[in-house]
Structure 1
Amino acid sequence: MSMKLTIAKVDEVLFKGEAESLSCTGSIGDLTILPHHAPLATPIKNGVLKIVDSEGKEIVIPVESGILEVAHNEATVIL
């Protein structure tokens, strides 16, 4: 089971594809987003985004700040 995930900066797409999970630190603490997660919008704090893609590969992206939005089995991160 997977979800659509897009991670982008204003001028660059860092990841776009299917993912099994996304972990990060939001304003409410550490979060792990899984497929079919409830709708959510939260700021992302300094740290890393940990992605497990649809093939089980872990991808780590350092972040300073950003916004995470989750809805309709799709997560979007704007850095």
Structure 2
Amino acid sequence: MNNTKSCEVRCTRCRKWFSSQIIQFEDEESFLHSVMYKNTEECPYCKTMVTHDKEIMRFVEKDSNDKVIKETRYIYDF
């Protein structure tokens, strides 16, 4: 079993989740206690510049088939 963990951002325009290339956390605890400030990243789907805000981020653990098996969010869906 080869699970992967990553931080994902939800695009505010197309609403698709994508793995952040600039923000990563080692675990869900560090995600929950982090402070985000003016980081932006381009959505790979629609090319919109998205400002990282914990309300549109999640920390996920995925199995070897890329299926989300655990998801941690700071504030519920927008």
- TM-score, length of structure 2 as denominator length: 0.35
Normalized per residue, the structure richer in strand is 1
Normalized per residue, the structure richer in helix is 2
